[in-house]
Structure 1
Amino acid sequence: MGDDAATIMSQSKRRLTKLKLLANFFEHIDIISIYIKTDIIHNLFQENTALDYNKLELFHLQYTDSLIELLTKIKRQKENDMLAVINEIDVNNKYIEGFEERRVDSFQTDRKMYSGIFSQHLKMLYKDLTEDIFTADWNNVLYFHKKYGQEFYRTQADEEQLKPKPFPAYQYKDYTIERKLLGRLNIQSFKVRFVCGYLIGTYEYELFKIFQSDDHFIFGIDDKKLYLFDGDLEKLDVSENQSNQSSIINQLKTKNEMLENTINERKRTIPAEVGNVLKDYLKNLENIDIMSKIFDFDEETNILRAMLNLNLNNN
């Protein structure tokens, strides 16, 4: 094999490698079939050193190069599209992770701490009332609703169940505290557990349970009242508060699943007009009598005929 032939075969091999990579990327049956057909043609020249290698080069110029250029452009476009999809999935995941970390690590931890803080606040209120002094700082308990009320407190509830009936009370600065409530809190050493919060219109309520009892009480934040719950718990949702962003998070998770499931399909999908061109390309490859072109002996026949004519004329 001469230098020119070796160069042509080397270039042909590089073209095959590019075509194979494109076939693997698209996973499209027509592109795979074209690659196989092209590989067969390459191997014919690889195994038959007597063939005219210029015909292989001509074949690639007529067919392979244009196809590689077309598929490479489509591949770049699809890679950009896929990158955009991957970036969207990544951004969604970061938002979801950030939300879940904040919800679990912050709200769940704070609500437990809030129960203890509120217990201490109630104990201080009782002590101050017995000593007729005012040392308790309400900001120690008001932080919780300011931080979580808008996002977590339940917006659907029968507000009549949360509102108080008239009750005998102590007055602590601007706050009204039911006398019976303080008595029951004192019995249980002021140990309470935050159950859940409600945001009804612009009014916020917090429901607490007194430790080792069936008693519940309400902290009416806007009315500045603490009173025993006298409604029907069966008519209220007293489950743990959930973020009102949960629906958004669920939508993002569903969208990510859809994007992940379709990303390979996006890669394999070829524009309709390109698909038609590929079918025509493959049809031409299958219809042309490649062997007759490779082993075309018209040129040799014409040379021999010319030589015979020359000999006849000389005679």
Structure 2
Amino acid sequence: MNDEAVNILSQSKRRLTKLKLLADFFENVDIISIYIKTDSIHTLFLENKTLDYSKLELFHLQYTDSLIELLTKIKRQKENDMLAVINEIDVNRKYISGFEEKQSYGFETDRKMYSGNFSHHLKRLYQDLTENKFTVNWDDVLYFHKKYAAEFYRSEVDEELLKPDAFPAYHYQDYQIERKLLGRLNIQNFKVRFMCGYAISGNEYELFKIFQSEDFFIFDLEGHKMYLTDPKKMEKLNTAPNESNRRIIINQLKKKNEELEEAMYERKRTLPEQVTAVLKDYIKNLENTDIISKIFDINEETNILRAMLNLNLNN
């Protein structure tokens, strides 16, 4: 094998490498098929030293080079389009990482402590009412919603389910406590359990359950009221434990990234209709049983890929 033949085979191998990279990028069945058939032609010349190697070079000049040039142009366009999507995915991942690092693990522990603090607060309030004095500091219980409402309190709820009908009340400082509620609290020694919180249009509510009973009451933080709930309204009310809205945001961002990656993958594989048609014609030529003689006939068909390079590819 002379130096010219060695050089032609070496250049042919480089072209195959480029074509393989393009096939891997697009993951398009037609391009993969073309690569396999082109590799077969290369192998045919590699293993048959009696063939004219100049015909292999001519084949690449007429077919492979034009195809590589066309696909490289499309690849650059797609990479530019994908860059914005990749950047969006990267930003989402940074937000996800930041949110996950700041998860509020103390909420459940503080919720239990808050139940005890609120029970103690109610007991002192009752004592003050019976003794006609005002010693209770509301900051002893208002700290909880200030710390957790923005992140944990539920917003998807019908506010009408949380509002009371008119009720007779005790007045303590600027707060109203339903008389019937205070009586039932007294029966259970003011033991209560914080169930969950709600945050709707700037108004915040907290739902409590009275110990060893089926009674629930609401603390309207903005309205400065406490009152028993309507059992019929309770049937429609979501009383599940609060969850961090960070987890909701994290899940939304993860789902968004999955959708972006899937769309990007499909967009990468999709080729313009004109290109798809040319690739299929290309494959037909390569599948011709008389390929060795056919591919070296210089005619208009062999220049079809070059014409494609001037297309306005809006993929």
If the TM-score is normalised by the length of the shorter chain, which range does it land in?
Answer: 0.7 to 0.9
Q: Which residue of 1 aligns with 2:14?
A: 14
- Which residue identity is paired with 1:28? N
Q: Which moved more, 1:97-106 or 1:188-197?
A: 97-106
Q: Which residue of 1 aligns with 2:268?
A: 267
CA contact (8 A) 2:149 2:199 kept: no
Q: Which residue of 2 aligns with 1:40?
A: 40
CA contact (8 A) 1:158 1:235 kept: no
Q: Which residue of 2 aligns with 1:64?
A: 64
Say if 1:61 and 1:192 are closer, same or farther in 2 by CA, change over 3 A: same
Q: Which residue of 2 aligns with 1:114?
A: 114
- Which residue identity is paired with 1:269? T
Provide the rounded CA distance (Å) in 2 between the counterparts of 1:295 and 1:83.
Answer: 40
Q: Which residue of 2 aligns with 1:279?
A: 280
- Which residue identity is paired with 1:13? K
1:152 aligns to what SS in structure 2?
A: coil
Q: Which moved more, 1:240-249 or 1:206-215?
A: 240-249
**How much does 1:187 deviate?**
4.1
**How much does 1:80 deviate?**
4.5
CA contact (8 A) 1:152 1:243 kept: no
Provide the rounded CA distance (Å) in 2 between the counterparts of 1:239 and 1:192.
Answer: 15
Q: Which residue of 2 aligns with 1:306?
A: none
CA contact (8 A) 1:159 1:200 kept: no
Provide the rounded CA distance (Å) in 1 between the counterparts of 2:141 and 2:51.
Answer: 92
Which has the greater radius of gyration? 1
CA contact (8 A) 1:114 1:144 kept: yes
Provide the rounded CA distance (Å) in 2 between the counterparts of 1:202 and 1:294.
Answer: 75
Say if 1:190 and 1:97 are closer, same or farther in 2 by CA, change over 3 A: farther
Say if 1:6 and 1:118 are closer, same or farther in 2 by CA, change over 3 A: same
Q: Which residue of 2 aligns with 1:214?
A: 214
Deviation track 1:51-94 (CA, whole Å, cap 9, x = no partner) reads: 33233222212221221122123233334444544554454566
Q: Which residue of 2 aligns with 1:305?
A: none
Normalised TM-score (structure 1): 0.72
1:162 aligns to what SS in structure 2?
A: coil
Deviation track 1:200-245 (CA, whole Å, cap 9, x = no partner) reads: 6665443311111223223232332334446645554142256789
Say if 1:114 and 1:283 are closer, same or farther in 2 by CA, change over 3 A: same
- Which residue identity is paired with 1:45? F
Map residues 140-289 of structure 1 onto 2, 5 A cutoff. 140-146=140-146, 147-148=148-149, 152-158=154-160, 162-167=164-169, 169=170, 171-198=171-198, 203-229=203-229, 232-234=232-234, 236-240=236-240, 255-286=256-287, 289=290
Say if 1:247 and 1:253 are closer, same or farther in 2 by CA, change over 3 A: same
RMSD: 3.9
- Which residue identity is paired with 2:120? Q
Deviation track 1:96-130 (CA, whole Å, cap 9, x = no partner) reads: 67668878746555544432332232233345446
Say if 1:131 and 1:40 are closer, same or farther in 2 by CA, change over 3 A: same
2:271 aligns to what SS in structure 1?
A: coil
Provide the rounded CA distance (Å) in 1 between the counterparts of 2:228 and 2:33.
Answer: 79
**How much does 1:140 deviate?**
3.1
1:195 aligns to what SS in structure 2?
A: strand
1:212 aligns to what SS in structure 2?
A: coil
**How much does 1:9 deviate?**
0.9
Q: Which moved more, 1:15-24 or 1:261-270?
A: 261-270
For CA contacts below 8 A with separation 6 or more, give which structure has more relative contact order: 2
Provide the rounded CA distance (Å) in 2 between the counterparts of 1:245 and 1:295.
Answer: 64
Provide the rounded CA distance (Å) in 2 between the counterparts of 1:286 and 1:198.
Answer: 69
CA contact (8 A) 2:168 2:178 kept: no
Number of aligned pairs? 294
**How much does 1:290 deviate?**
4.3
**How much does 1:256 deviate?**
4.5
Q: Which residue of 1 aligns with 2:310?
A: none
**How much does 1:156 deviate?**
0.5
Percent identity, please. Answer: 66
